[in-house]
Structure 1
């Protein structure tokens, strides 16, 4: 069954608005938003619905609309303040790397994308590279026997991934591949929040458009404090848990749980 904006019991324009807002926060439209007709086809709604969603985004200062031109993201400050719903943590990679590997056992990976892109302002800032510099973008879907669990997008400087490719990525976590290539992950700074599923992600995770997903943004640094990887992860909350144990002040033990149970 196709996923559409009608899959949720809230107004259609608000569903479109929510998905586009999340995509803007992820930096998906550096070169401009799709045209109105493209959006009507993507969300299976009318043009009036799309226009109302765009008007709401413009009213909130998230996009700029100009007659005869495609809407574009509004300029943002260099450093956005975290939103109240977000939880940020600096996590030890020594324990987290092993936990990521353990959590992937019994799951399968489909590599959806593996290509070279130019760094957008957001990815360039996160990875401390120049805008337009070559990055390697990987998009993967991980599943258990119960079905899809996660949709993971990672960005890594192209020079760091020349020792492996799509085939290796289908069998090993990116962090493990980077470590085997001689790099030394030191720490990670991550944000845990929530996002709505857009049409593409909804189709891969087999959920309705606009469904609430667990969202993790993680920047991994090496032992010299150089960024190695930017990760955006979207997870089905009925099949994935992210647990943290604060054993003492300043110490965080993170644990990832992938479950096949359907609640």
Structure 2
């Protein structure tokens, strides 16, 4: 098991850094059912405390990536890509953090009249147009997701002519248009792949998908972007952290 240097001066907690390294190690070296090194070995390899190792393993268990078997050890349960919900991050950023090699195919970029659904989601004015960016996203050579972004055209003049300047749309928006997203509403549902989606994602027809719909807002609260993303159910996993229940007041 090879080790990488942890940055003990980083603002990112050690257990989260260690989690990313272990996820990369699992992806590159282990198969489902293989055992993870024991905690004392991980502790020595990375120079961290036993508490840090245990918190990291706890997170991997919570994400469904590994499972503990009493008296036997910790074993790989799934090699799905984990998407952490709760913050606005680009797909590209998520994959980079996980050490994935990414590329994009089947890119379509057009300006179009919005459908009624798009108009309602983005609260568009009459005759307002949107830019549609459709892509098939690959991680380590494997198609993982079909992503369609609808952007309000009036906020990104020249986008059609300039095209996507970076692999990450959000980096292009931030650097080229000084557009930063303040918040987003996201909905996730399970459904079966259409025949076309199955072909693009190279999966059997009617395979399970995790379909995400997101509306992103500018810093002043204006709805700016609608995202429709279809993720392979066999390769994608969402992780959501929830706070404790609020205590109800008695009257």
8 Å contact kept, 2:189–2:212: yes
**CA distance change for structure 1 residues 126 and 91 in 2, over 3 Å: closer, same or farther?**
farther
Greater Cα radius of gyration, structure 1 or 2: 2
8 Å contact kept, 2:86–2:241: no
Task: Give me the whole-angstrom Cα distance separating, in 2, the residues matched to 1:164 and 1:249.
Answer: 44
Task: Give me the whole-angstrom Cα distance separating, in 1, the residues matched to 2:232 and 2:166.
Answer: 21
Whether 1:101 and 2:97 are equivalent positions in the alignment is no
SS of the residue corresponding to residue 227 of structure 2 reads strand
Mapping for residues 1-263 of structure 1, pairs under 5 Å: 91-93=86-88, 96-97=89-90, 101-104=93-96, 105-130=100-125, 132-165=127-160, 169=164, 171-180=166-175, 181-248=177-244
Q: 1:197 Cα deviation (Å)?
A: 1.3
8 Å contact kept, 1:119–1:135: yes
Task: Give me the whole-angstrom Cα distance separating, in 1, the residues matched to 2:195 and 2:150.
Answer: 21
Unaligned runs of 5+ in 1: 1-89, 251-263
Q: 1:118 Cα deviation (Å)?
A: 0.3
What's the CA shift string for 1:138-158, capped at 9, x where partnerless?
Answer: 110011235100000111111
Aligned residues: 158
TM-score normalized with structure 1 length = 0.54
**CA distance change for structure 1 residues 165 and 132 in 2, over 3 Å: closer, same or farther?**
closer
* Structure 1 equivalent of residue 49 of structure 2: none
SS of the residue corresponding to residue 125 of structure 2 reads coil
Q: 1:121 Cα deviation (Å)?
A: 0.8
Task: Give me the whole-angstrom Cα distance separating, in 1, the residues matched to 2:209 and 2:118.
Answer: 22
Q: Which has the higher contact order (CA 8 A, sep 6+)?
A: 1
SS of the residue corresponding to residue 129 of structure 1 reads coil
Task: Give me the whole-angstrom Cα distance separating, in 2, the residues matched to 1:164 and 1:100.
Answer: 19
CA RMSD of aligned residues (A): 2.6
**CA distance change for structure 1 residues 144 and 156 in 2, over 3 Å: closer, same or farther?**
same
Task: Give me the whole-angstrom Cα distance separating, in 1, the residues matched to 2:238 and 2:162.
Answer: 27
Task: Give me the whole-angstrom Cα distance separating, in 1, the residues matched to 2:164 and 2:153.
Answer: 15
8 Å contact kept, 1:119–1:134: yes
8 Å contact kept, 1:91–1:188: no
TM-score normalized with structure 2 length = 0.56
SS of the residue corresponding to residue 245 of structure 1 reads coil
8 Å contact kept, 1:109–1:171: no
**CA distance change for structure 1 residues 158 and 208 in 2, over 3 Å: closer, same or farther?**
same
Task: Give me the whole-angstrom Cα distance separating, in 1, the residues matched to 2:239 and 2:162.
Answer: 30
**CA distance change for structure 1 residues 108 and 191 in 2, over 3 Å: closer, same or farther?**
same
